[in-house]
Amino acid sequence: MTETNRAARVASTGWSPKQYLKFADHRLRPAIELLHRVPIESPETIYDLGCGTGDVTRLIAARWPSATVCGLDNSLEMLPKVEVEPGGIEWIEADIECWTPAKKPELIYSNAALQWLPDHQQLLPRLAGLLSAGGCLAIQMPLSWAAISHRLMRETLVDCGIPGRILGTDELRAAAAQNWVADAETCFDLLDGCAENLDIWETEYLQVLSGTDPVFEWVQGTGLRPILNALDDDELNIFVPTYKKRLREAYPVRSNGQTLYPFRRLFVVLTV
């Protein structure tokens, strides 16, 4: 196994649908904005890669009711518990990294999932190559690696407020340090050669969050999961309060009781 793949494996998420869906409205908005940009009229076969709980897959199926729609995910915690929904969606447990469709689809859609996979240099052109002629690849990934919240996450592992104390294993810290998502220009260079049309953009959402430690609650549903799963109880007792305090300082509660959490996302829509 390469170092890259080992780092990806260490980043085990152990998903919690309940935690992930705490901010369902903020998480759904980019998915819908991506869906609106898909320029395909009547696809026969659609895959939603990393479909999670399937909420977005159901919107996809509603937009193209006559299409065969498959939601694919490698987390049994996240996947809906039925194999086939009344609406006709098929849920498939599989790993995107080694997935190939039985029949070339007209649309491969993926919202907030591919950032968990390594080696986009190989992955993204491979996905584009799986499309039928005229097909569309539509992807949204968070650009969270450079966010203050994620920098503090990495820093707290190596500087947890106790001099000389480092948390987690070398592998965990290496995995947390990895940024799988390339910037928009790199993505353009990567995909231009395999696209008829290529549309790439970034959006920064000024997310208004409520409640106690809302940024911690947000990352606890996604990017923080590999760290929480890997630290032992003693380490968690140090990491969690230190990280929460740093987040409160970086994202102060406003006078109206709400917290602003700016969040950047990268969108790619290509047709072949």
Ligand X SMILES: C[S@@+](CC[C@H](N)C(=O)[O-])C[C@H]1O[C@@H](n2cnc3c(N)ncnc32)[C@H](O)[C@@H]1O
What's the closest the beta carbon of residue 222 comes to ligand X, in angstroms? 5
> What CA–CA distance (Å, rounded) separates 140 from 15?
19
Closest residue to ligand X, based on beta-carbon distance: 52
Tokens at residue 210, please? 């409520």
The reply on whether position 203 binds ligand X by CB under 6 A is no
CB-nearer residue toward ligand X: 25 or 170: 25
Restricting to residues 212-231, name those near ligand X by CB under 6 A.
222
Q: Is the separation of the CB atoms in 162 and 154 below 8 Å?
A: no
What's the closest the beta carbon of residue 54 comes to ligand X, in angstroms? 8
> What CA–CA distance (Å, rounded) separates 126 from 205?
30
Interface characters, 97-136, with ligand X (x: CB under 6 A): x-------------xxx--xx-------------------
Restricting to residues 8-37, name those near ligand X by CB under 6 A.
15, 27, 31
CB-nearer residue toward ligand X: 64 or 91: 91
Residue count at the site for ligand X (CB under 6 A)? Answer: 21
Restricting to residues 65-94, name those near ligand X by CB under 6 A.
73-75, 78
The reply on whether position 95 binds ligand X by CB under 6 A is yes
What's the closest the beta carbon of residue 237 comes to ligand X, in angstroms? 27
Options 46-54, 167-175, 176-184, 243-251: segment touching ligand X (CB under 6 A): 46-54
* 140-145-146-151 Cα dihedral, nearest 10 degrees: 150
> What CA–CA distance (Å, rounded) separates 266 from 207?
16
Q: How many CA within 13 A on the CB side of residue 115? A: 21
What's the closest the beta carbon of residue 97 comes to ligand X, in angstroms? 5
| Contact pick of 7, 46, 51, 190 for ligand X (by CB under 6 A) | 51
The reply on whether position 144 binds ligand X by CB under 6 A is no
| Greatest CA separation for the chain | 61
What's the closest the beta carbon of residue 161 comes to ligand X, in angstroms? 29
What's the closest the beta carbon of residue 2 comes to ligand X, in angstroms? 15
Residues of this chain that interact with ligand X (CB under 6 A) are: 15, 27, 31, 50-52, 55-56, 73-75, 78, 95-97, 111-113, 116-117, 222
